[in-house]
Amino acid sequence: AKEGGKRRFAVFTPAMRDSIVRRHGLKAELEHAIKQRELVVQYQPIVDLASGQTVSVEALVRWNHPGRGRIPPLEFIPLAEETGLIVPLGRYVMEEACARVSGRHPELQVQVNLSAIELEHPDLIESVAGVIARTGIAPDRVVLEVTETLLVKDAVRGVETLQQLRDLGVQLALDDFGTGYSSLSYLRNLPLDSLKIAREFVEGLAFSDHDAAFVRLIVGLAKTVGLKVVAEGIETREQLDMLREIGCDLGQGYYFAKPMDADADWLAAGIG
Ligand code: C2E
Ligand code: CA
Ligand code: CA
Instruction: Give the pLDDT mean for 1-26.
Output: 61
Instruction: Give the pLDDT mean for 133-161.
Output: 90
Average pLDDT for the chain = 90
pLDDT band at 119 (very low <50, low <70, confident <90, very high): very high
Any ligand 1 atom below 6 A from CB of 135: no
Instruction: Give the pLDDT mean for 13-27.
Output: 69
Task: Give the atom of ligand 1 at the shortest distance from the alpha carbon of 112.
Answer: 41
- From the CB of residue 99, how many other CB atoms can be counted at a distance below 10 Å? 17
Task: Give the atom of ligand 1 at the shortest distance from the alpha carbon of 73.
Answer: 30
Any ligand 1 atom below 6 A from CB of 115: yes
Distance 60 CA to ligand 1 centre (A): 6
**pTM of the complete model:** 0.92
Residue 185 has pLDDT above 80, yes or no: no
Task: Look at residue 22 and give its three-state secondary structure.
Answer: helix
Q: Whose CA is closest to 250, among 224, 271, 225, 229?
A: 229
Q: pLDDT for 44-94, tens place per residue?
A: 999 999 999 999 999 999 999 888 899 999 989 999 999 999 999 999 999
d(CA 183, CA 81) in angstroms, rounded, equals: 24
Q: Are 112 and 171 in contact (CB under 8 A)?
A: no
Residue 5 has pLDDT above 50, yes or no: no
Q: pLDDT for 193-219, tens place per residue?
A: 999 999 999 999 989 999 999 999 999
Distance 211 CA to ligand 1 centre (A): 21
pLDDT band at 172 (very low <50, low <70, confident <90, very high): very high
Distance 3 CA to ligand 3 centre (A): 31
Rg (CA), the chain: 20
- Please tell me what DSSP assigns to residue 18: H
Following CA atoms 122, 78, 111, 162 in sequence, which dihedral angle do they give, to the nearest 10 degrees?
Answer: -30
Task: Look at residue 60 and give its three-state secondary structure.
Answer: strand
Q: Are 118 and 161 in contact (CB under 8 A)?
A: no
Instruction: Give the pLDDT mean for 154-181.
Output: 91
